[in-house]
Structure 1
Amino acid sequence: MRQFALFGLLLSLGMNALAESCPEHLGGEYRKLHASESVNLCDVINKKPALVVNTASHCGYTKQFSGLEALHQKYQTEGLVVIGFASNAFKQAAKSEAEAADICYTNYGVSFTMLAPTEVTGTEANALFRWLAEQTVAPSWNFNKYLINPKTGAVKHFDSRTAPNSEALTKAIEAAL
């Protein structure tokens, strides 16, 4: 009987440790852009610095995909994770996921994680973007960038006008690595 009680206690402690290892705002599954495969943000980020971006396919800032891909290529081996969240929050999205995927993957060579359209503003925003808004500000347009630093727990916001190759963003990424 004691063995079962001890096993139950250890199992309970283990489950609590697992639950605590993933913050609530990173929980849940997100489907990849134009795919049936899903990802769990806890698995993708896994205590690594993450650059989270709300994206749109038909925006004046869409060309930033090239710069985001360059950041991904430059820093992925050092641990940076770049994640794009397709969204139509500002009515600039492609008409279909297939078109959005073509723009991302074919036109801009995106190889970082791109997620299927999701809400990033207001009460319908996904859990991560609600949390990001609480930590900094909600996106006011497409291509807002949020750098999550796992060392400090801090989130730094960069607006749409901040180019991916800007000195400010690069310095912040390097500090987080």
Structure 2
Amino acid sequence: MSTVYDFAADTLGGDKVALDQYRGRVLLVVNTASKCGFTPQYQELEKLYREYQDRGLVVLGFPCNQFLQQEPGKAEDIAAFCERNFGVSFPLFAKIDVNGAHTHPLFAHLKKQARGVLGTQAVKWNFTKFLVKKDGSVYKRYAPRTSPDSLRVRGDIDKLLAE
């Protein structure tokens, strides 16, 4: 069976990154957007990253423009926006599709392993979050409305970091 470590993605800077480099870490993979009602979650994601990174958590942000064109900017615009407004220091990747014919292979895998409401695979909106165990297997999916800083998400991260 595949794990997230079998995939690669391009960074905002255009470098290809093998996700295998995160082996042994807990990952929170999120499709993001700069002009979404959930955009303030960038602040919560950064807070989690700073608080937990020394214990092994990595947040991975994947900008997506599929939901009402809420991520229209170019890579440099996205990077500047995230840094200026939220001090984002976690890894950000190139803009991708999370649904449809051009779905990034990582998100195809994540959606298959952790289905949404009523067993659906489709990502419904920006800031859908996938929590990945240290072995690269997908642990859980969280809806966009679920705060990254919620007790539920924090509890799951603590559990996986302790394993």
TM over 0.5, shorter chain: yes
Which of these residues, 125, 134, 139, is aligned with residue 155 of structure 1? 139
Tell me how far apart the structure 1 counterparts of residues 108 and 125 of structure 2 sit (CA, whole Å).
15
Taking a change above 3 Å as real, the CA distance of residues 125 and 152 of structure 1, as seen in their structure-2 partners, is closer
Shift of 1:152: 8.9
> Structure 1, residues 29-82: CA drift from partner, whole Å, max 9, x if none?
42211x133321111x21311100000111011110000000000000000111
- Structure with higher Rg: it is 1
Q: 1:151, 1:176 within 8 Å by CA — same for their partners in 2?
A: no
Q: How does 1:111-126 map to 2 (within 5 A)?
A: 111-126=89-104
Q: Which protein has the bigger helix share?
A: 1
Q: Which has the higher contact order (CA 8 A, sep 6+)?
A: 2
Tell me how far apart the structure 2 counterparts of residues 125 and 163 of structure 1 sit (CA, whole Å).
25
Q: 1:25, 1:127 within 8 Å by CA — same for their partners in 2?
A: no
Alignment of 1:51 with 2:28, yes or no, is yes
Question: Which residues of structure 1 form unaligned runs of 5+?
Answer: 1-19
Which of these residues, 19, 22, 27, is aligned with residue 6 of structure 2? 27
Q: 2:25, 2:58 within 8 Å by CA — same for their partners in 1?
A: yes
Tell me how far apart the structure 1 counterparts of residues 59 and 73 of structure 2 sit (CA, whole Å).
24
Q: How does 1:90-101 map to 2 (within 5 A)?
A: 90=67, 91-101=69-79
Alignment of 1:143 with 2:121, yes or no, is no
**TM-score when scaled to structure 1?**
0.80
**TM-score when scaled to structure 2?**
0.86
Tell me how far apart the structure 1 counterparts of residues 101 and 134 of structure 2 sit (CA, whole Å).
26
Q: What's the C-alpha RMSD, in Å, of the aligned pairs?
A: 1.9
Tell me how far apart the structure 1 counterparts of residues 29 and 136 of structure 2 sit (CA, whole Å).
17
Shift of 1:165: 0.8
Tell me how far apart the structure 2 counterparts of residues 113 and 38 of structure 1 sit (CA, whole Å).
12
Shift of 1:110: 0.5
Which SS does the other structure have where 2:73 is aligned?
coil
Q: Which residue of 2 aligns with 1:62?
A: 39
Tell me how far apart the structure 1 counterparts of residues 129 and 3 of structure 2 sit (CA, whole Å).
20
Q: Which residue of 2 aligns with 1:81?
A: 58
> Structure 1, residues 85-124: CA drift from partner, whole Å, max 9, x if none?
1111212103322221111112111000000101111232
Q: 2:110, 2:138 within 8 Å by CA — same for their partners in 1?
A: no
- Work out the number of aligned pairs and report it: 154
Tell me how far apart the structure 1 counterparts of residues 11 and 109 of structure 2 sit (CA, whole Å).
21
Taking a change above 3 Å as real, the CA distance of residues 165 and 107 of structure 1, as seen in their structure-2 partners, is same
